[in-house]
A and B are shown apart, each in its own frame.
Chain A
Amino acid sequence: MQVPTNTNKKRLIFVLFVITFVTLILILRLGYIQIAIGEELKKGALEQWTKGIEIKSKRGTIYDRNGKKLAISVSSYTVWASPADIKDPDNTAKLVAEVLDMDEELVYEKITKNTNVEKIKQWISNDEAKELRNLKLSGIQIVDDNKRYYPYEDFASYILGFTDIDNYGLYGIERTYDKYLSGTPGRWVVTEDARGRQMPYDGERVYDAQDGLNVVLTIDETIQHFAEKAATESLLTTKAKNVSVIVMEPNTGDILAMATLPQYNPNNPREPLDEELKRAWENLPQDELMGKWYDMWRNFAINDSYEPGSTFKLITAAAALEENVASMSSNFYCNGFIRDIPGGTLRCARWYNPHGAQSLKEGMANSCNVVFVDLGRRLGKDKFYKYIKAFGFGERTGIELPGEQTGIIPINTDIIKEINLATMSYGHGIAVTPIQLINAVSAIANGGKLMKPRLVSQLIDNDGNVVIENKPEVIRQVISKSTADAMLDMMESVVTDGTGTNAYVAGYRVAGKTGTAQKIIDGRYAPGKYIGSFVAVAPASDPKIAVLVVVDEPEGMYYGGSVAAPVAGRVIEETLSYLEVKPEFTEEEKEQFDYTVEVPNVMNMKLEEAGRILSELGFKYTTESFNIIENSLVIDQFPKPGTEVTRGSIIDLYLMEEDRKENKIHMPDLIGKSKEKVIQILDQLGLKYELIGEGIVVGQDPSPGTEVDVNYNIKVEFSDVKE
């Protein structure tokens, strides 16, 4: 037996040492993996164990002030794939592509992607979802989703805005209130093993989505309709580029309507409504198209500023009255020109036939530049500037819509030269946004308080509880109540005696101011391009609404008094009567026409008779039916009988459409006839039919001799019918 030597033992100890050393290194390595970077690795592991599918939260509804739904979320479905679970990608791709009407290769690409989950198609129909579910494809999930829908289509689109495919708000209230509307998405989490089956631990966890809050607008759907209708009419008659109509409640700053036409349909925001434009855009390159889209989505009422022209004289006058540099009855003299300002001679709009001597009130009615230049100079640039700022010009009103502009006013009084002061007095050399102007005029209407324009009054949850309330907010008192009253008095004379007579509404006292200005494009006055505007407050005695109409680039006539004032008048009339503000007619107006006439009942009368009665009472009438004959029966009318309307109103009549006798035939007897014969007979009569079976006729519907409509689908059964 050999005995181990010392060498053997030393080397053994050395081997033990090496082993221990390597072991220690591995222990360190293990500690590094399990403890130092363990969390990081765990994340990676968790990621592969869990498959999470987002559960979309339901986006909140946008209501008008009366609870009408302007934007809603409708249920829809989205198809997802978890590529790891798909057993037979070829077949799956084929079936999915078939059901969803997609490109098979595209589907294949998606379902074989190296990701946990991949969206295949968003917003599929109920039928498609059902069909796909029936296929029971592993790795294909159909998840409830919701899609934004605007039931009124192209309506208030600049206020509402729209969302992208992921329901993220891109424009309008959808954008500014996105974080409230969107809610919190939930998650459906499943832990799966490497073969795609659920693991025994954890189970599946569903984190419920939290629905978004609902937004209640200050907009009144009906008034918005009035505004849009009036703007559309104006757009058609003036061929303007844009027409903006804003209706505001002066006491609260609530925007009741804000229409800018033309608009787009938020259900399909990338397609213009105009057919011609749509065709023109079809062949545009993508970047140019994007530019067009952005232009289309611009809300003129807040995203653009314009030179206000004479409407700005209200600010000059209000400042002058407040500062006591003039009173309503102060006397002024217009000789057509102002020649004593260094830098140029200024003209009154009626320089060829000067206004001569006039009071401030008359000057307002005449919109005489000379008067306001005088006022501006009496105020001096510092005081005038103070009021321009105080009325909110040169800064955002804070309306809750994206992209509001500040307008352009001199950055400080130092740069205001005398000529600038003079032109600014009548609204030139300054730029405002429509929302700024109506907000300033609202301040005049409500007794001098500048309000923050309010577009959203409340955020409510699904049970109707108010979660967040936006209270009307007074920014500052700009002018005194007495100044404001004097202003309304003067503005009323604009409509009764001055440039704004087109805004006159019988029964309501309208106060207003016209404005016309040349457009500035690229820093230069653009020849032949004007903006006509009219700002109004009604009723002057107790203002309920302020209305601003801005007509951008009308063709032909462009004076605010001619293009904008009538639009304002229409909106005021309809809105006040909708708001049930009682009209107060002056004696003069009463004399002019016996204003209320009760609509007679003409229902169930022959058209001829109904027409005679209506004409006798001074009504006009329209019918929209075709095939009118004198004996057509009136089956409905609008307004309903007994309604009090203005004499001369139009009554819509709905007529019973008479059946044309020649559309009826008597059903021939087909029993016992051969198929060829039946076809021949029915074809001759020009009837539609369905033949069942072969052989000889044993049954027919309708039965012989019955009177049938030519459009009736006749069924003929033949002898060998099998049930």
Chain B
Amino acid sequence: MAKKVRKRACDFALLLTTLLLVFIGIIMVFSSSWPEGIRMNDGYYFLKKQIVSALVGLAGMLFFMNFDYRYIYRFSRLIYLLSVISGLLIFTPLGVVRKGARRWIDLGFTTFMPSDIIKLGSIIFLAAFLSKRKDVVKDLKKSTIPTIMIIGISCGLIYLQKDLGTTVTLGATLVSIFFVAGMKFSHLFFMIVGAALGLAAAIFTGDNEYRIRRLVAFMDPFADKTDSGWQAVQSLYALGSGGLFGLGLGKSRQKFFYIPEPYNDFIFAIIGEELGFLGTLTVILLFLILIWRGVRIALNTEDLFGCLLATGIIALIAVQSLIHIAVVTSSIPTTGIPLPLVSYGGTSLVLYMSSIGILLNISRHVKMDGS
């Protein structure tokens, strides 16, 4: 049977959508990073790095597309262990502090963000873990508590990097996997309550005044638009000046240092400014297609691990892109989250493309409609 399945073609729509988003990403990273690049005496600096990342990502995607995901199941514990270790490496001399946060690891030849690795690693591990507990998934001791521990370790590692946005993203993703795996509703309820309390504690306790300020600024960004409301206001200005059709590709004004790192956490705002509502809508629709194709793969797979893994990958992409768009549109308080596949960032792009590769591989094992 396995032999027969392997012959299937992968989900072409998903592949195409992914490549399209990566392509749009490269163009938009180039456009939005130009002013900063020029300031560093190389306008193409970010473009070149993003193209290299995309090529590495493409290689990763092609590799995982043809790499039987079931091997991943076997190595899930090792993968998770390695990703947790990489997360801890941050606190060794290898960790690099940039922009006030300890989020990078310097390997000498390259740097990478362990949080991206932890994200994928924990998804794989939880999917594998839960697929083994299919029959006891509603059991508090056998499933829920270990799951909470996995979530706690994974999210905790990221929270230690002072990255609340990613923590929330990963938390929501992992809970989604547990939810799809069949968790008890009452457990879900308590977990949501717990998560809410945790979030409140993260904001209101300890040395986290900036989070409170962001929350206040979110209520009325224009009240303090030169300081705490700056990013939100600049992002709204960008979207607003784009209007329906946009100012035209490359013609963003807001990328000229009004929006900090426009090629990263606010790339969607620059898309809105240059390509207008039609541009942002196109990107959202591409993500919807991607999510729909992903869910379809998860639905059609006959393997619970494949189903949960696909769920995790799709949930991660969905949650992260929705949070990114919500931040850019000032729908939630500002937090730094890149747009998957589109924003600048090597580790992130390579890992997202690789995980799409895993999805594509799962799709090759899927029993297609009617057959």
A residues sitting closer than 8 Å to B (CB atoms) are 1-5, 7-9, 11-13, 15-16, 19-20, 22-23, 25-27, 29-31, 33-35, 37-42, 44-46, 48-49, 114, 191, 193-195, 199, 201
Give A4 to B305 CA distance when docked, in angstroms. 8
Give A33 to B326 CA distance when docked, in angstroms. 12
Shortest Cβ distance from B295 into A: residue? A16
Return 20 A-B CB contacts under 8 Å, by A number: A5-B182, A8-B182, A8-B308, A11-B180, A12-B298, A15-B180, A19-B322, A20-B288, A23-B288, A26-B326, A26-B329, A27-B284, A29-B329, A30-B272, A30-B329, A33-B239, A34-B243, A42-B237, A193-B256, A194-B257
Give A3 to B256 CA distance when docked, in angstroms. 53
Does B215 reach chain A (CB closer than 8 Å)?
A: no
Shortest Cβ distance from A37 into B: residue? B240
Contact of B237 among A11, A31, A48, A193 (CB under 8 A): A48
Q: Is the CB of A193 within 8 A of B240?
A: no
Known contacts: A3-B304, A38-B243. The answer to whether A12 contacts B284 by CB under 8 A is no
Q: Which of B110-118, B141-149, B274-282 contacts A (4 or more CB under 8 A)?
A: B274-282
Contact of A35 among B134, B243, B257, B298 (CB under 8 A): B243
Q: Is the CB of A45 within 8 A of B329?
A: no
Does B23 reach chain A (CB closer than 8 Å)?
A: no
Closest Cβ–Cβ distance, residue B255 to chain A (whole Å): 9
Q: Which of B273-304 contact A (CB under 8 A)?
A: 276-277, 280-281, 284, 287-288, 291-292, 295, 298-299, 301-304
Shortest Cβ distance from B259 into A: residue? A194
Q: Is the CB of A193 within 8 A of B258?
A: yes
Q: Which of B328-364 contact A (CB under 8 A)?
A: 329-331
Q: Is the CB of B257 within 8 A of A23?
A: no
Q: Which residues of B contact A27 (CB under 8 A)?
A: 281, 284
Q: Which 10 A-B pairs have the closest CB atoms?
A: A41-B240, A193-B256, A2-B304, A45-B237, A194-B257, A34-B277, A4-B307, A42-B241, A38-B240, A16-B295
Q: Which residues of A contact B154 (CB under 8 A)?
A: none
Give A169 to B242 CA distance when docked, in angstroms. 43
B residues sitting closer than 8 Å to A (CB atoms) are 35, 131-132, 134, 176, 179-182, 226, 233, 236-244, 251, 253-254, 256-258, 272, 276-277, 280-281, 284, 287-288, 291-292, 295, 298-299, 301-305, 307-308, 311, 315, 318, 322, 325-326, 329-331
Give A8 to B181 CA distance when docked, in angstroms. 6
Q: Is the CB of A11 within 8 A of B182?
A: yes
Give A40 to B237 CA distance when docked, in angstroms. 9
Known: A12-B311, A34-B277. 14 other contacts (CB 8 A): A2-B132, A8-B181, A12-B298, A12-B307, A23-B288, A26-B331, A31-B277, A33-B240, A34-B276, A34-B280, A49-B253, A193-B253, A193-B258, A194-B257
Q: Which residues of B contact A194 (CB under 8 A)?
A: 256-258
Q: How many A-B residue pairs have CB under 8 A?
A: 142
Closest Cβ–Cβ distance, residue A400 to chain B (whole Å): 47
Q: Which residues of A contact B307 (CB under 8 A)?
A: 4, 8, 12
Q: Is the CB of A39 within 8 A of B257?
A: no
Shortest Cβ distance from B254 into A: residue? A45
Q: Is the CB of A9 within 8 A of B299?
A: yes
Interface of B (DSSP majority class): helix
Give A193 to B39 CA distance when docked, in angstroms. 12
Q: Is the CB of A114 within 8 A of B226?
A: yes
Q: Which residues of B contact A49 (CB under 8 A)?
A: 253
Give A201 to B253 CA distance when docked, in angstroms. 9
Q: Is the CB of A23 within 8 A of B240?
A: no
Q: Which residues of A contact B299 (CB under 8 A)?
A: 9, 12-13
Q: Which residues of B contact A34 (CB under 8 A)?
A: 239-240, 242-244, 272, 276-277, 280
Give A660 to B307 CA distance when docked, in angstroms. 121
Q: Is the CB of B329 within 8 A of A48?
A: no
Q: Which residues of A contact B236 (CB under 8 A)?
A: 33, 41
Contact of B258 among A3, A48, A201 (CB under 8 A): A48
Give A31 to B280 CA distance when docked, in angstroms. 10
Q: Is the CB of A45 within 8 A of B240?
A: yes
Known contacts: A4-B303, A5-B182. The answer to whether A38 contacts B241 by CB under 8 A is yes
Give A13 to B331 CA distance when docked, in angstroms. 25
Known contacts: A15-B176, A16-B292, A38-B242. The answer to whether A191 contacts B253 by CB under 8 A is yes
Give A33 to B237 CA distance when docked, in angstroms. 9
Q: Which residues of B contact A8 (CB under 8 A)?
A: 180-182, 304, 307-308
Q: Which residues of A contact B311 (CB under 8 A)?
A: 12, 15
Shortest Cβ distance from A49 into B: residue? B253
Give A40 to B239 CA distance when docked, in angstroms. 11
Q: Is the CB of B226 within 8 A of A35?
A: no
Q: Is the CB of A4 within 8 A of B304?
A: yes
Shortest Cβ distance from B183 into A: residue? A11
Known contacts: A3-B303, A193-B258. The answer to whether A23 contacts B180 by CB under 8 A is no
Give A30 to B315 CA distance when docked, in angstroms. 22
Shortest Cβ distance from B304 into A: residue? A2
Q: Which residues of A contact B329 (CB under 8 A)?
A: 26, 29-30, 33
Q: Is the CB of A4 within 8 A of B302?
A: yes
Q: Is the CB of B302 within 8 A of A11?
A: no
Known contacts: A26-B322, A38-B240, A40-B240. The answer to whether A199 contacts B291 by CB under 8 A is no
Q: Which residues of B contact A114 (CB under 8 A)?
A: 226
Contact of B322 among A1, A23, A39 (CB under 8 A): A23
Give A19 to B311 CA distance when docked, in angstroms. 12
Q: Which residues of A contact B240 (CB under 8 A)?
A: 33-34, 37-42, 44-45
Give A193 to B254 CA distance when docked, in angstroms. 8
Q: Which residues of A contact B176 (CB under 8 A)?
A: 15
Known contacts: A2-B131, A30-B325. The answer to whether A41 contacts B303 by CB under 8 A is no
Interface centre among B131, B180, B284, B292 (most CB of A within 10 A): B180
Q: Which residues of B contact A44 (CB under 8 A)?
A: 233, 237, 240
Closest Cβ–Cβ distance, residue B258 to chain A (whole Å): 5
Give A2 to B258 CA distance when docked, in angstroms. 52
Contact of B35 among A4, A26, A193 (CB under 8 A): A193
Give A30 to B277 CA distance when docked, in angstroms. 7
Closest Cβ–Cβ distance, residue A202 to chain B (whole Å): 9
Give A1 to B1 CA distance when docked, in angstroms. 13
Q: Which residues of B contact A201 (CB under 8 A)?
A: 251, 253
Interface centre among A1, A4, A27 (most CB of B within 10 A): A4
Closest Cβ–Cβ distance, residue B126 to chain A (whole Å): 14
Q: Which residues of A contact B305 (CB under 8 A)?
A: 1-2
Give A191 to B251 CA distance when docked, in angstroms. 13
Shortest Cβ distance from B321 into A: residue? A23
Q: Which residues of A contact B182 (CB under 8 A)?
A: 5, 7-8, 11
Q: Which residues of B contact A2 (CB under 8 A)?
A: 131-132, 134, 303-305
Give A161 to B43 CA distance when docked, in angstroms. 59
Closest Cβ–Cβ distance, residue A256 to chain B (whole Å): 60
Shortest Cβ distance from A201 into B: residue? B251
Q: Is the CB of B256 within 8 A of A199?
A: yes
Q: Is the CB of A26 within 8 A of B284?
A: yes
Known contacts: A12-B298, A194-B257. The answer to whether A45 contacts B180 by CB under 8 A is no
Shortest Cβ distance from B322 into A: residue? A22
Closest Cβ–Cβ distance, residue B273 to chain A (whole Å): 9
Q: Which residues of B contact A45 (CB under 8 A)?
A: 237-238, 240-241, 253-254
Q: Which residues of A contact B322 (CB under 8 A)?
A: 19, 22-23, 26
Contact of A1 among B257, B303, B330 (CB under 8 A): B303
Contact of B243 among A5, A13, A42, A48 (CB under 8 A): A42
Closest Cβ–Cβ distance, residue B298 to chain A (whole Å): 6
Q: Is the CB of B180 within 8 A of A12?
A: yes
Give A26 to B244 CA distance when docked, in angstroms. 16
Shortest Cβ distance from A34 into B: residue? B277
Give A356 to B144 CA distance when docked, in angstroms. 131
Q: Which residues of B contact A42 (CB under 8 A)?
A: 237, 240-241, 243
Give A97 to B226 CA distance when docked, in angstroms. 27
Give A312 to B277 CA distance when docked, in angstroms. 79
Give A29 to B280 CA distance when docked, in angstroms. 12
Give A23 to B181 CA distance when docked, in angstroms. 23
Give A11 to B299 CA distance when docked, in angstroms. 10
Shortest Cβ distance from A45 into B: residue? B237
